[in-house]
Each structure stands twice: as structure tokens, then as C-alpha cells.
Amino acid sequence: MNWGIFEGLLSGVNKYATAFGRVWLSLVFIFRVLVYLVTAERVWSDDHKDFNCDTRQPGCSNVCFDEFFPVTHVRLWALQLILVTCPSLLVVMHVAYREAREKKHQEAAGKDGGRLYLNPGKKRGGLWWTYVFSLVFKAGVDAAFLYVFHLFYPKYTLPRVVKCHAAPCPNTVDCFISKPTEKNIFTLFMVITAAICILLNLVELAYLVSKRCRECLVARRAWARHVGRHRDWAASSCKPDDLLSGDLIFLGSDTPPPLLLDHPQDYVKKTNV
């Protein structure tokens, strides 16, 4: 395994993740991937060889092992870890696509041509939806595998002895599983870590959705205030003048003469004197 490439991928995922995403990544890498690589494979390496049945009938042990272990734990965990980590790499690939597109735009339009993305790694537009999809997919994969484990191995535990009566066994035989206690401990550990990862994914999803709703609400309020100010300005600019065309203002006179005179001729005489 090339740890340099793996470290580069993890650093890329960690760079574009939220705080909850970084906790999830640390939990997956330390408590799931490393435990699987260092310990789990060794514990389950001899499960078929040490699966013994109290019969000498050829093929009976193989048939009973296949009946009780349709898919072994380590193979289910390997498939689960691959499917869980792939969506995070999809986010990194989306950011790389944005950066490549921005670079081509800068080369074609020059420095004065503007930018397609102010920050290619900022979760806006399609990248936000990609990140949300990755969270839903990761939580769904972990939940589906927990259900599969419970379906194959009820209560996520292995018994010490199993009864088998499949052909070609001559009758019901007892088969013994190697190191059942140790396997149960590791199984419960992986189940608990998977459940915590599901919880972290749901919390991060709720955080992103609530943050986007708050941003949309603030933007709507700002737009409503802008529209209200524009309407007030338009109303004030279209308001009629305070002075009507028929109004007259007389300076230096306490009582202005009436606009409609009862005897206009007398008034003219008086003013002409």
C-alpha cells in the first residue's frame, strides 16, 4: 500500500471538510482503517482453518462454514470502508475540476477577464450538493452494512458452537468457531464506530442545511429591505409639490387678500390710489 498517496488523499479531504468532517475522517482512519489493517485481518485469518466440526465426513466442515459465514467479517468491512471513503474522494475530485476550469479560464481571458470561482474549495453551488450527497451516501452505506451484519450475525455476536445439518453431513453436527470472544469484541468495536460515524454524518448534514437556510433567510431579508427602500424613494420622488399651482404667497402682508373678490372693481380702485 502506498501510504504517500493515501496521505495526500486524506490531506485533500481534510482541507475541504468542515469540523465535523475532520472528526469523522480521524475516526474512520484511526479507529476503522488502522484497526482493520493491523488487527482484524489477523484475527480472522484462520477462521476457516480452525473451524472444526465433530465429524470426519469429507466436505462437511466446508459446507457448514459456508452456511454460517456466507460473507466473512473482514470482506464485509473491506467493502464497507471502500464505499464509505469514495464519496470523500469525489469531493476532492470536484474541487480539482473547479481549479482546472478556473485555470483554463484565466489562461483564455487573462487577468482582466474576471474569475469563475472566488474560492474553488468553498462549498457553494454544485460543490455544496456534492458534499451533501457524500454525507447522505456515507451514512446510508454504514447503515446498510450494519443491517447486513445484523442479518447475517444476529446481535453482532458469534456463538461458541453452531449446529449444522447440511449435506453431506451425516446428521446434525457441532461446529466450533475459533476465538469467538476476541472476534465478538472487534465486531462490537467496529459496529460502535460505524454508528458514531453515522451520527457525525447526520450532524454535519444538519449543520450544512441549517447554515444554508440561515444564509438564504438573511439574503431574503436584505433583499426585502432593499426593495422597501427603493419603493420609499420612488414614492417620495413622485409625491406632488406642497405648493399647488393655484396657491399664492404674499410677503409682507399679515392677511392676504381673498382670491375671489366680491367687488373686484372697488379693490382695483383702492390699490390704484
109-147 pLDDT tens trace: 777 667 777 777 777 888 889 999 999 999 999 999 999
Whether 47 and 177 have beta carbons less than 8 Å apart is answered as yes
pLDDT score recorded for residue 189: 93
User: To which residue does cell 399651482 refer?
Assistant: 245
Is the pLDDT at 271 greater than 60, yes or no? no
Which of 251, 263, 225, 204 has the alpha carbon at shortest distance from 24? 204
Our measurement of the distance from residue 42's CA atom to the centroid of its chain's CA atoms, rounded to an integer in Å, reads: 34
pLDDT score recorded for residue 148: 93
Which of 194, 212, 192, 216 has the alpha carbon at shortest distance from 204? 212
Is the pLDDT at 253 greater than 70, yes or no? no
Per-residue cell: 262: 366680491
pLDDT score recorded for residue 6: 55
- Over the Cα atoms of the chain, what is R_g? 39
pTM of the model: 0.74
CB atoms within 10 A of CB 44: 21
Residue 121 DSSP one-character state: T
C-alpha–C-alpha distance, residues 180 and 155, integer Å: 14
pLDDT tens for each residue of 154-191: 889 999 898 888 888 888 899 998 888 988 999 999 99
What share of the chain in percent tops pLDDT 90? Answer: 20
Q: Which CATH superfamily is domain 3-48+79-152+179-222 in?
A: Gap junction channel protein cysteine-rich domain (1.20.1440.80)
Q: What is the domain partition of the chain in residue ranges?
A: 3-48+79-152+179-222
pLDDT score recorded for residue 124: 80
Mean pLDDT of 48-53: 82
Per-residue cell: 85: 471513503
User: To which residue does cell 447503515 refer?
Assistant: 143
pLDDT tens for each residue of 193-240: 999 999 999 999 999 999 889 988 888 888 878 777 767 666 666 555
Task: Show the beta-strand stretches assigned E in the chain.
Answer: 52-53, 161-164, 173-176
CB neighbour class for 149 (10 Å; exposed up to 12, middle 13-18, buried from 19) = buried
pLDDT score recorded for residue 257: 53
